Structures are given as structure tokens and as C-alpha cells.
């Protein structure tokens, strides 16, 4: 633990920091905070009266945050695992910090579906639900976030935690199969945020205010809208805006410079609605590939840069690009990629050991690569090969398409699986869409059938779990068969 001024106040000048993992030492130069060798503080770069968060246009001070953490930690039940389902981003941060204080591991599921929560709890039998909502989605022991803020005291300390302490277990989205668990230490989580800070703010004004449309339970949201702000001395917005007008309102409630952390789906919605947003330092996108055309539209409309993060649950964020500059990604300086036995691996301070990437990657060196879709997305039709990512890109570039995705069902015994496409395109017919696709893809990859739908079954983070697409395909096929037989 540290008092304000010892680690929370700005230190003299800039310090180089070192971080040890896996027998290797990593140096982070020119940071405005220092990684302690053994323990890492929850906050850096704040004064007691600094705004750590904003809600409804009002700041929440750092000293209030510390009081809230202490109050919640004292009230938590004696358990080893907790589902942090707080929707308010500030409450999520307080709950995460309180769990760390009590040495409780935070479980971050890919969705709040009751079946998903109960399946995960089978592996973590003592897990309970910590929520700011009236009820827990599943039949689990519930601890509610306090209704009243804590009383701020004069003598406050900033908690710090061993870098080896297990902070969270995050689960993959299930976009390529069943969700898988991945253990994250406190040191690994902060290493990822430190690298992102170095990449994005090396030459930009700070501190910034961060507004996120992604949930904090998602690895991308956790790293960029929660951990990065509290380690960089930034302020986070407590809400998770969904619709374009909500995004505009949230951004207007925080001071400049502002950063919007979001997804291609939200960018497309804001552009389509011609929503006027206040000045932005930049827009950061992840969870799905962003088309250069949409990025160019957003940059022109909002007079800012659109940047992307590439990563995965197992390794966190790995590389970045400015979308309009092309399909070349540059890893964080401390991360590197290499190839072994036809698979690409990444290593660096945010992973305990090299992680195999589930994407088709063309290396340009240890710090640059091109991305060509997921390994699980590769398909072969009539002897011709492509990827679902490539097909999705061409589909979503069609004028009038709001959202769309291709899907290849599992092979059924004695049957030939055919590509399916789900498209949200008000005003366009199936014939018009197929004609537009014929201009850009080989005829063997034309979808059979192509379904026009009102919305795709995206998760809160904007991803499309394979199980959700399979369920949608089965439901629409049944409806189609019933209609044809009528």
C-alpha cells in the first residue's frame, strides 16, 4: 500500500520501468509511472482530488474511489471466485479492486446467459455474483453493489498487489467454438495496458477521458477502458452507451481530449445516423475487422484518426494499425511474432509463455504482419479456397448493407454443406445483394441461401459466436421449409 504522493502523485521526470516474467526482464522506457518489481499499485498518476471517472457529467474523485473500494472489500463474502457483472464501468472497477484486496479471482464470462454462468460455475464451485443490477441472470449467490457511496476519510492508501497474483479468469467469445478459460495475473494485465499507453499516447496530449461502448467484462474493454485509464492517470466514463445518440451524450459529458473505444458495429451506426460527435483525439476499434471504407468515412466525418487493435483473449492486445493505411499490423514494441510448424506465435511481457494465434498471418518480420482471417474461417468449396473474413469484408462493403456475415455449417453425414449469408440491408433485395456479390467473389462462394434479417446475434462486445449463428441458421431454415410446404 502507498499513500498519495508516494506513488499516486506525479514523480520527478519520467522513469524507466522493468517487469519480469518467464525468466525474462522487459524494460519500458519513458513511462510516467513505474512498474514495481514485486508489487504493482492499482493507481498511477493521480492526486487525491483527480477525477478517476465521470458519471452524468460529474467527476468521481480518486479519494472517493479508494473509499468505495475499502467499503466494498469489507462487505464481500469469504469466497475465492466472483462473477463481476457490474454494468456501470466505475462500479466494475471498484468491484475488481475490492476482489483483488480480498484475494478473490474475478471471473469474466463471454456473456451473461444463465446457462453460460452456470456452466462456468461448475469449474469454480464457490463463485458468487457481484452486480449493480436488481437480480443475477442465473441462480447464483448474489452480493449487491452498495447503494450508498462510502464516506471519504483523511488517511487513505493506494492498494498494490503482487504481480504474480491471479486477478482474473477471462473466457474466449466462442466465435470459433466453445469458450475457453484463460488465467490473467495482475502483472500481465498491467503490462498490456502499459504497452497500449506507450503506443497510443507517445506523441499525444494527456491526460485523456475514455468513453467505451464495449463491456468491461471483455478483454478489450477491460484493458482499454478500465486498466489503461487508472494506470495512465486518465478518467473513464462510467456508462456503456449503445446507440449513436448515447455515444454523443457520453462524449459530451467528459472533458477533452476524448477517446472513443468501440467496435466496427458502433462506428457504422454512428456514421449511418450522421451523428455529430464532439472533438475526438482518436477512435479505437477492435473485436472484428474494420473495413478501410468505413474507417475512411469515420475519419472524414469526425476529423480524427481511426485506429485498430489486434489481439485475442489468450494474449490480450498484440498489435495496432491505422485502418486506412492498409493491412499491415505493427506489434507493440515489447511484443514479437514468429512462425513455428505452420503456426504463428506471439511472446512478450503480457503472456507467461508464447501463445499460438488462431489466425492466418503473413509475417513481415518479428514486429510486422498481414492478417488474412482466422484459421477456423478457411473454407474450401469446389476446390477453391477463401476465408469467411474475406467474404464478410466484401459483403459489408456493398452500399446499403448495415451488417452481414457468412456462415459455413458443420458437414452433415451424406450431405454437402453450403455457405449461408445473413444480411441486414433495409431497402435491398436478395437479388440485388447477390448481383453485387457476383461482382467481387467467385460464383462458388455465393451464399445458398442468403437471409435478410433485422439484426445479427452479436454479443455485447460485437462478436458473432458460432453457436448463435448456427442457431439462427437452424431457425431460419425451419421457417423457410415451413413456408415452402404451406
Alpha-carbon distance 52 to 234, whole Å? 7
* Claim to verify: residue 292 and residue 435 sit in the same structural domain: no
The number of distinct structural domains making up the chain is 2
C-alpha to C-alpha distances, 341 to 181, 319, 357, 386, nearest whole angstrom:
25, 22, 12, 21
Residue holding cell 491526460? 207
Q: Are residues 130 and 237 in the same domain?
A: yes
Task: CATH number of the domain at 398, please.
Answer: 3.30.300.30
- Whole-prediction pTM: 0.79
Q: Which of 372, 396, 431 is at the close of a domain?
A: 372
The residue segments making up the domain with residue 156 are: 2-372
* Shared-domain flag, residues 403 and 308: no
Same domain, 463 and 365: no
Q: What is the pLDDT along the chain (486 residues), one digit of tens a residue?
A: 555 544 444 333 333 333 343 443 333 333 333 443 478 999 988 889 999 999 999 999 999 999 999 999 999 999 999 999 999 999 999 999 999 999 999 999 988 888 889 989 999 989 999 999 999 999 999 999 999 999 998 888 899 999 999 999 998 765 555 678 999 999 999 999 999 999 999 999 989 999 999 999 999 999 999 999 999 999 999 999 999 999 999 999 999 999 999 998 899 899 989 999 999 999 999 988 888 989 999 999 999 999 999 998 889 999 999 999 999 999 999 999 999 988 899 999 999 899 999 888 899 999 999 987 766 677 777 667 787 888 888 898 898 998 999 998 876 555 556 899 999 999 899 999 999 999 888 888 899 899 999 999 987 777 888 888 999 999 998 888 877 776
* Residue 285, beta-bridge partner list: 262, 308
Residues 96, 59, single domain; the answer is: yes
Which residue is it, cell 480480498? Answer: 102
| 327 & 463 share domain | no
377 within a domain of the structure (yes/no)? no
3-state helix, strand, coil in the chain (%, to 5): 30, 30, 40
Helices 89-101 & 62-75 angle (0-180, nearest 10) = 60
Q: Are residues 57 and 194 in the same domain?
A: yes
Task: Compute and round to an integer the Cα radius of gyration of the chain.
Answer: 23
Where residue 131 sits, what CATH number does that domain have?
A: 3.40.50.12780
Q: Which helix (H) or strand (E) holds 316?
A: strand 316-322
Q: Residues 98, 147: one domain?
A: yes
Task: Name residues whose C-beta falls within 8 Å of residue 27's C-beta, 6 or more positions apart in sequence.
Answer: 16, 17, 18
Distance CA 133, CA 172 (A): 24
Residue 37 falls inside a structural domain: yes
C-alpha 174, offset from chain centre: 14
- Residues 394 and 475 grouped into a single domain: yes
Amino acid at each position: 500500500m502507498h499513500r498519495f504522493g508516494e506513488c499516486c502523485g506525479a514523480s520527478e521526470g519520467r522513469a524507466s520501468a522493468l517487469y519480469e516474467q518467464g525468466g525474462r526482464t522487459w524494460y519500458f522506457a519513458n513511462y510516467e509511472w513505474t512498474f514495481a518489481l514485486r508489487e504493482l499499485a492499482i493507481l498511477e498518476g493521480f492526486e487525491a482530488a483527480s477525477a478517476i471517472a465521470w458519471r452524468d457529467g460529474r467527476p468521481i474523485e480518486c479519494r472517493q474511489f479508494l473509499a468505495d473500494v475499502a467499503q466494498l472489500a469489507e462487505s464481500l463474502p469469504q469466497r475465492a471466485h466472483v462473477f463481476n457483472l457490474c454494468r456501470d464501468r466505475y462500479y466494475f472497477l471498484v468491484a475488481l479492486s475490492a476482489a483483488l484486496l480480498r484475494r478473490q479471482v474475478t471471473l469474466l464470462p463471454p456473456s451473461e446467459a444463465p446457462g453460460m454462468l452456470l456452466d462456468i460455475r461448475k469449474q469454480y464451485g464457490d463463485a458468487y455474483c457481484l452486480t449493480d443490477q436488481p437480480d443475477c441472470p442465473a441462480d447464483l449467490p448474489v452480493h449487491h453493489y452498495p447503494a450508498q457511496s462510502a464516506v471519504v476519510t483523511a488517511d487513505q492508501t493506494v492498494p498494490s498487489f503482487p504481480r504474480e497474483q491471479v486477478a482474473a479468469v477471462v473466457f474466449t467469445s466462442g466465435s470459433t467454438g466453445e469458450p475457453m478459460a484463460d488465467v490473467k495475473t495482475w502483472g500481465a494485465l498491467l503490462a498490456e495496458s502499459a504497452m497500449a499507453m506507450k503506443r497510443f499516447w507517445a506523441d499525444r496530449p494527456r491526460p485523456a477521458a475514455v468513453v467505451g461502448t464495449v463491456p468491461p467484462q471483455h478483454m478489450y474493454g477491460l484493458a482499454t477502458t478500465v486498466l489503461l485509464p487508472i494506470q495512465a492517470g486518465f478518467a473513464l466514463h462510467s456508462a456503456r452507451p449503445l446507440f449513436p445518440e448515447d455515444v454523443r451524450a457520453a462524449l459530451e459529458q467528459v472533458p477533452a481530449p476524448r477517446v472513443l473505444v468501440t467496435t466496427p458495429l458502433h462506428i457504422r451506426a454512428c456514421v449511418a445516423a450522421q451523428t455529430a460527435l464532439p472533438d475526438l483525439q482518436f477512435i479505437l476499434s477492435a473485436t472484428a475487422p474494420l473495413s478501410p471504407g468505413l474507417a475512411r468515412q469515420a475519419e472524414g466525418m469526425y476529423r480524427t484518426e481511426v485506429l485498430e487493435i489486434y489481439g485475442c483473449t489468450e494474449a490480450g492486445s498484440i498489435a495496432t494499425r491505422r485502418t486506412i493505411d492498409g493491412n499491415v499490423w505493427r506489434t507493440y514494441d515489447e511484443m514479437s511474432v514468429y512462425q513455428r510448424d505452420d503456426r504463428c506465435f506471439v511472446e512478450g511481457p503480457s503472456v507467461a509463455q508464447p501463445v499460438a494465434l488462431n489466425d492466418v498471418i503473413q509475417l513481415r518480420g518479428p514486429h510486422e504482419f498481414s492478417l488474412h482471417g482466422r484459421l477456423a474461417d478457411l473454407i474450401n468449396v469446389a476446390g477453391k479456397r477463401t476465408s469467411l473474413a474475406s467474404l464478410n469484408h466484401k459483403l459489408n462493403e456493398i452500399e446499403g448493407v448495415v451488417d452481414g456475415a457468412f456462415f459455413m455449417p458443420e458437414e452433415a453425414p451424406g450431405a454437402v454443406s453450403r455457405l449461408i449469408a445473413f444480411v441486414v440491408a433495409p431497402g435491398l433485395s436478395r437479388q440485388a445483394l447477390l448481383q453485387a456479390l457476383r461482382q467481387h467473389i467467385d460464383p462458388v462462394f455465393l451464399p445458398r441461401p442468403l437471409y435478410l434479417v433485422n439484426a445479427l446475434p452479436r454479443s455485447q462486445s460485437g462478436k458473432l459466436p458460432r453457436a448463435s449463428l448456427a442457431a439462427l441458421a437452424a431457425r431460419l431454415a425451419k421457417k423457410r421449409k415451413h413456408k415452402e410446404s404451406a
